[in-house]
Amino acid sequence: MTYNIYFEPIGHLVSGIKGDTIYTTSIRSGISLGSICGGKSSCGRCKVRILSGRCSPITKNEKMHLSEEEIRDGYRLACIARILSDLKIMLPQITLAQPRLQLKGIEPKIEIDPVISLYNLKLSEPSLENPLPNWENIVKTLDKHHNLRNLKIDIHLLRDLNSIIQNLKREVSVSVRGNEIIGICNKREKHLGIAIDLGTTKIAAYLVDLFTGETLKVRGIVNPQIVYGEDIMTRISYAMKNGVKDLRLAVCKNINDLIRDFLKNLKNIDEIVIVGNTVMHHLLLGLPVEQLGKAPYVPVIRQAMDIKARDLGLNMTPLAYIHLLPNIAGFIGSDHVAMLLATEINKSKKNTIGIDIGTNTEVALSVKGEISSLSCASGPAFEGARIKHGMRAAKGAIEKVNIKNSAVSYKVIGDIAPIGICGSGILDIISQLRQEKIIDHRGRLQNHDLTRKTDNGQEFVLVLKNNSGITQDIVITQNDIGEIQLAKAAIRTGINILLNDFGITEEQIDQIIVAGAFGTFINIESAVRIGMLPSIPLNHITQVGNAAGIGAKLALISKQHRSLANKIANKVKYNELTIHPKFSHEFSHSLQIP
Ligand code: FES
């Protein structure tokens, strides 16, 4: 039996099967509920408000995640509440808020040297004396004037070859990639490429002129796989239960939309370079990901790959190629390689840390030309998960906080009444609470004018209900502080273990490069104060924006950088953090707030 399920305020009417959870129905309909646990009823992020209709009775587990006020208002966890009639459901503002995407990054100046070379030819007419096929004519001319041998041609191009040459009156521009002719066009035609950073949360795409290196357009969208879970492990769980097809098709569809949004004439796109973490890479290719979710986390493939766009179902000329940069390990993907490429850490003579903070934080340390990298499970706390009033960096999120002599001030994204706190705001709060001695070095909240006792322990009141955009006070609980301590300790442990393995100390670090969306918006001073980053002079720490996207662009416009990416991937020594003998000691030490 099916019922009508109406989702407000987005106005989606979908059909729900009796007894199914609201969560399952929303996934089937492509509606994101912000789940982190993938429907396992542990993250508390799938809150929805039932405006009318009947669901299964509320459970004990739901009561643990919902306040009394929320229960009175009809809130339920979508992954527990089962459909028993037609329903009208309201999605909370926090679920609907679109995360802020960081697209820009600092780009080094490089020589443009794309993988495609262009040759302008004037082809002779065939005659009875010399009935040379067009294809052979091109091959002979390229051999004679440009010394190109062993050329091949794609069947799709061969089918249209004669008509193209005829339309262009035998004056053609031939695009050659390696030993393959991938295009024949007018010599005035533009040759474009797209660099894509395929992130777990967002997809950033850059339309680039392959021969000038100019970035013509930039677009960012939320990764549509987010409806299947917000982090990598939830997506792996979904793929283990349901296969990888849904995840693959969702991302391919959105890449197609991005391409179409960039330009109508798809035949002008000759090449796409894609980087991402190893799970995103595997899901795009439709490769199994189950093994990436358990030790020893072995990828199906690490090497760089060239694939025809048509084989991935991307809507471009069937001749165009997708190039995927190499992965390093199960939790260090080609986005890390791209980050190293863009930040030129591999060239640095200084002791340099490169860090991209996210649910998994990748850290690289370069000392005298040697690079070691590792991945720290920093968890989703910086994305606002497992934090009582946490949310992604979206409209309505408190992103900066200042506490001075018991006076609290804050800045909200979009300058509206706050509805939650995002990662950068939470970092500020912990730093300020410690500075004002409202928490001790173990993170324990002290008795203070700004704290209050509740049944679940002390909490810090950041915004009173009257000033917030929700029906509650916005608070930081003892549990929230614990979650941030775990996240920052994971990152600092990774850094300390790399320093230890190279035999250098914190004082010997010359510079830290912070990449990625989260790293762009954090207050570096707060990150240093709470001990997440080593205490070096603040002007030696640089925030570089989306370095992975920039690395993808470099590999798009430079053959040399593409081969450098392979060298970097081979050169980087991968460290598995969790089996390191010093892991436990470093981790418990890093939990403290200095
Ligand atoms: S608690 Fe429902 S999806 Fe996590």
Is the pLDDT assigned to residue 175 strictly greater than 90? yes
Looking at residue 268, what DSSP letter applies? Answer: G
Q: How many CA atoms lie within 13 A of 337 on its CB side?
A: 37
Residue 35 Cβ inside 6 Å of ligand 1? The answer reads yes
Is the pLDDT assigned to residue 451 strictly greater than 90? yes
Contact 533, 431 (CB under 8 A): no
Cα 571 to ligand 1 centre (Å): 41
Largest pairwise CA distance in the chain = 100
Cα 44 to ligand 1 centre (Å): 5
What is the number of other CB atoms lying within 10 angstroms of the CB of residue 136?
10
CA distance 333 to 279: 8
Is the pLDDT assigned to residue 382 strictly greater than 80? yes
Residue 234 Cβ inside 6 Å of ligand 1? The answer reads no
Residue 39 Cβ inside 6 Å of ligand 1? The answer reads yes
Contact 304, 242 (CB under 8 A): no
Residue 41 Cβ inside 6 Å of ligand 1? The answer reads yes
Cα 565 to ligand 1 centre (Å): 39
Residue 385 Cβ inside 6 Å of ligand 1? The answer reads no
Residue 77 Cβ inside 6 Å of ligand 1? The answer reads yes
Contact 89, 22 (CB under 8 A): yes
User: Rounded mean pLDDT of 469-485?
Assistant: 91
Cα 119 to ligand 1 centre (Å): 57
Best mutation site among 43, 58, 70, 234 for ligand 1, i.e. most ligand atoms within 8 A of its Cβ? 43
Supply the residue whose CA is at minimum distance from atom 4 of ligand 1.
43
Cα 336 to ligand 1 centre (Å): 30
Strand 573-574 and strand 152-153: pairing? unpaired
Task: Kindly report, residue by residue over 232-284, the tens digit of the pLDDT.
Answer: 888 999 999 999 999 999 999 999 988 888 887 667 889 999 999 999 999 99
Binned at pLDDT 50, 70 and 90, residue 383 comes out as confident
Cα 137 to ligand 1 centre (Å): 64
Atom of ligand 1 nearest to the CA of 79: 2
Question: Which are the contacts of 458, defined by CB distance < 8 A and separation ≥ 6?
Answer: 444, 445, 446, 447, 451, 452, 477, 478
Q: Which of 81, 76, 67 is nearest to 24 (CA)?
A: 81
Q: How many CA atoms lie within 13 A of 440 on its CB side?
A: 4
What order do you get walking across the sheet with 171-177 strand by strand?
A: 116-122, 171-177, 180-185, 152-153
Atom of ligand 1 nearest to the CA of 39: 3
CA Rg, the chain, in Å? 27
Residue 37 Cβ inside 6 Å of ligand 1? The answer reads yes
pLDDT for res 227: 81
Atom of ligand 1 nearest to the CA of 80: 2
Task: Kindly report, residue by residue over 131-144, the tens digit of the pLDDT.
Answer: 999 999 999 999 99
pLDDT for res 316: 79
Question: Which are the contacts of 382, defined by CB distance < 8 A and separation ≥ 6?
Answer: 357, 358, 359, 423, 426, 427, 487, 518
Residue 79 Cβ inside 6 Å of ligand 1? The answer reads yes
CA distance 46 to 80: 9
Atom of ligand 1 nearest to the CA of 38: 3
Cα 46 to ligand 1 centre (Å): 5
Query: Measured on CA atoms in the order 495, 497, 502, 503, is the torsion positive or negative?
Result: positive
pLDDT for res 266: 66
- Range with the poorest average pLDDT among 355-359, 425-429, 435-439: 355-359
pLDDT for res 226: 82
CA distance 210 to 188: 14
User: Helices 559-571 and 334-343, interaxial angle, to 10°?
Assistant: 110
Q: At 160, phi and psi to the nearest 5?
A: -100, 0
The token duo for 344 is: 């030129």
Residue 237 Cβ inside 6 Å of ligand 1? The answer reads no
Mean pLDDT of the chain: 92
Binned at pLDDT 50, 70 and 90, residue 22 comes out as very high
CA distance 102 to 105: 8
CA distance 244 to 542: 38
Residue 320 Cβ inside 6 Å of ligand 1? The answer reads no
pTM of the model: 0.88
Residue 227 Cβ inside 6 Å of ligand 1? The answer reads no
Cα 209 to ligand 1 centre (Å): 44
CA distance 453 to 369: 53
Cα 80 to ligand 1 centre (Å): 8
Task: Kindly report, residue by residue over 571-590, the tens digit of the pLDDT.
Answer: 999 998 888 899 999 999 99
Residue 46 Cβ inside 6 Å of ligand 1? The answer reads yes
Burial of 435 (C-beta count, 10 Å sphere; 0-12/13-18/19+): middle
Atom of ligand 1 nearest to the CA of 65: 1
Cα 47 to ligand 1 centre (Å): 8
Residue 229 Cβ inside 6 Å of ligand 1? The answer reads no
Cα 387 to ligand 1 centre (Å): 14
- Range with the poorest average pLDDT among 402-406, 443-447, 547-551: 402-406
Task: Kindly report, residue by residue over 389-422, the tens digit of the pLDDT.
Answer: 888 888 899 999 999 888 999 999 999 999 999 9
Contact 459, 451 (CB under 8 A): yes
- Identity of the residue numbered 355: I
Atom of ligand 1 nearest to the CA of 37: 4
Binned at pLDDT 50, 70 and 90, residue 550 comes out as very high
Is the pLDDT assigned to residue 371 strictly greater than 80? yes
CA distance 25 to 82: 10
Long-range contacts of 242-246 (CB under 8 A, 24+ apart): 244/282, 244/283, 244/286, 244/287, 244/288, 244/289, 245/286
Residue 44 Cβ inside 6 Å of ligand 1? The answer reads yes
Best mutation site among 24, 63, 65, 79 for ligand 1, i.e. most ligand atoms within 8 A of its Cβ? 79
pLDDT for res 593: 94
Supply the residue whose CA is at minimum distance from atom 3 of ligand 1.
39
SS (H, E, C) 367-436: ECCEEEEEEECCCHHHHCCCCCCECCCECCEEEEEEEECCEEEEEECCCCCCCEECHHHHHHHHHHHHHC
pLDDT for res 2: 92
Residue 380 Cβ inside 6 Å of ligand 1? The answer reads no
Cα 33 to ligand 1 centre (Å): 9
The token duo for 211 is: 């021969």
Task: Kindly report, residue by residue over 459-474, the tens digit of the pLDDT.
Answer: 999 999 899 988 889 9
